[in-house]
A and B are shown apart, each in its own frame.
Chain A
Amino acid sequence: KQEVTQIPAALSVPEGENLVLNCSFTDSAIYNLQWFRQDPGKGLTSLLLIQSSQREQTSGRLNASLDKSSGRSTLYIAASQPGDSATYLCAVRNYGQNFVFGPGTRLSVLP
C-alpha cells in the first residue's frame, strides 16, 4: 500500500528565502506525482504535475524534482513571498490507482 509522508509538517521562513519542501513515498512504481497548494478554507490548486518519466518540472519560482528510485520528491520555492503562505500537499499515483495524499507542509512566509 502506497504511503506518502511530508517533512517538515510546518515551516516558517523570512521573506526572500529559498526553501525546500520534501515528499517521500514507499512504492517507487509511481505513474505521476502532483504538488498542490491549499489556502486556509479553500480548495486545492494544482502547482506541478510530474510524470514518472520526468525528473523535474518548473513553473515560475517553483521547481519540483522527482527521484523514483529513492522514493522522493522535492518542491523548491525561490525567493519566497508572504503570498506563498499556504499548506502544500504532495500526491502520488500508481498506474490504475487513486492518488494518495501526504499530510501536507504548512508554510508561513514572514514579511
Chain B
Amino acid sequence: NAGVTQTPKFQVLKTGQSMTLQCAQDMNHEYMSWYRQDPGMGLRLIHYSVGAGITDQGEVPNGYNVSRSTTEDFPLRLLSAAPSQTSVYFCASSYSFGGGGYTFGSGTRLTVV
C-alpha cells in the first residue's frame, strides 16, 4: 500500500518556466488537496478536489492550476514560475470531504531562481 506518492522530490526552475507536480494515491480516496508550507506561514491550502472532475480553490490559488480526471491523480501545474513560489508542496488525501483523516505525501521541494 503506497499511500500518497509525490514526484519529483526536488526541483529547480527558472523564473517563467512551467512544470507539473504529480500526486497519486492508491487508497480510493475521494478528496485530494495541495498545500504549500513556508517558514512562519504554516500550511496553506492551494487547491482541492472532492472527486473526479470537481476542483475548487483554496487560500492561495493564484499561479497554480489543477485538474482531476481520475480518482487516483491530482496534478498541480505551475503556469509561469515565480520566486515567490519557492516552497515545499504537499499533497494530502482523505476518504471524503467530510470524513476521515489526512494522509500526506512526502512533499516536493521547489526552488524558483
* CB proximity of A32 to chain B, nearest CB, Å: 7
When A98-B33, A98-B45, A101-B42 are in contact, do A46 and B102 touch as well, CB less than 8 Å?
yes
Classify chain B's interface size.
10 to 19
The contact string, 1 if C-beta is below 8 Å from chain B, for chain A 67-93, is 000000000000000000000010101
The count of residues in chain A whose C-beta lies closer than 8 Å to any C-beta of chain B is 21
Q: Which of A52-111 contact B (CB under 8 A)?
A: 89, 91, 93, 95-96, 98-99, 101-104
Q: Which of A25-67 contact B (CB under 8 A)?
A: 31-32, 34, 36, 42-46, 49
Q: Which residue of chain B lies nearest to A34 when distances are taken between CB atoms in the complex?
A: B101
The docked-state distance in angstroms from the alpha carbon of A31 to that of B45 is 19
The docked-state distance in angstroms from the alpha carbon of A15 to that of B107 is 30
- Chain A residues within 8 Å of B58, by CB: 98
Question: A44 contacts B90, CB within 8 Å?
Answer: yes
The docked-state distance in angstroms from the alpha carbon of A101 to that of B90 is 13
* CB proximity of A34 to chain B, nearest CB, Å: 5
When A42-B106, A43-B106, A44-B104 are in contact, do A101 and B98 touch as well, CB less than 8 Å?
no
- Chain A residues within 8 Å of B45, by CB: 98
Q: Which residue of chain B lies nearest to A102 when distances are taken between CB atoms in the complex?
A: B42
Q: A43-B90, A43-B105, A44-B102 are in contact. List 20 more A-B contacts (CB 8 A).
A: A31-B99, A32-B100, A34-B101, A34-B102, A36-B102, A36-B104, A42-B106, A43-B104, A44-B92, A44-B104, A46-B103, A49-B100, A89-B43, A95-B98, A96-B97, A96-B98, A98-B45, A98-B48, A101-B43, A104-B42
What is the interface of chain A, defined by CB distance below 8 A to chain B? 31-32, 34, 36, 42-46, 49, 89, 91, 93, 95-96, 98-99, 101-104
